[in-house]
Amino acid sequence: MLTETMIEDDRWKTANLAALSERAATATLAHLGLDPAQWEVSVLGCDDARIATLNEDFRDKPQPTNVLSWPSEDRAPEAPGATPKAPEPGPDPELGDIAIAFDTCTREASEAGKPLSDHITHLIVHAVLHLLGYDHIRDEDATVMQTIEVEVLGKLGLADPY
């Protein structure tokens, strides 16, 4: 199994976070030509209070956010719009960790008029791409990342979230 899901907020159980995370992470790696069986991703299903603490501790932003990611190593390319170098299989299969907040995700899905499962899937795809070195701070990088997100979600039968 690619993902290991830890549930801190029981509402994630009814949202089926474990299955959605596995499906999204597997689809993302497969789309990029990486064998999902060779990698591990940890996913924490939490609430807004917990993610706000994590956001403050790691990003100096003391407010909740929808999803956070911590790559096991920095894979970001230096040149804007460049593709990150793919990870090499080895003795440590960990790509990194993801935390996702139930309250924020539920609110965002409701505000956008989309199913919660679709929004969760999008956020996990987004976070896995961060683990692989993709980012959206520079416009060129955002274009690359969003294009991949749309392609992966399309393969999963989900609408373009942008």
| Order of all β-strands in the sheet with 94-101 | 3-7, 40-46, 94-101, 67-71
Find out whether 31 is annotated in a ligand binding site: no
Residues linked to residue 98 through DSSP beta bridges, in sequence order: 43, 69
The closest alpha carbon to 41, from 102, 150, 130, belongs to 130
Contacts of 8 (CB under 8 A, 6+ apart): 44, 45, 46, 47, 50
Instruction: Evaluate whether 54 touches 114 at the Cβ level (below 8 Å).
Output: no
Residue (of 52, 39, 8, 50) closest to 128 by Cα position: 39
Residue 21 CB coordination number (10 Å): 27
Which residues line the annotated binding site for Zn(2+)?
A: 126, 130, 136
Which residues line the annotated binding site?
A: 126, 130, 136
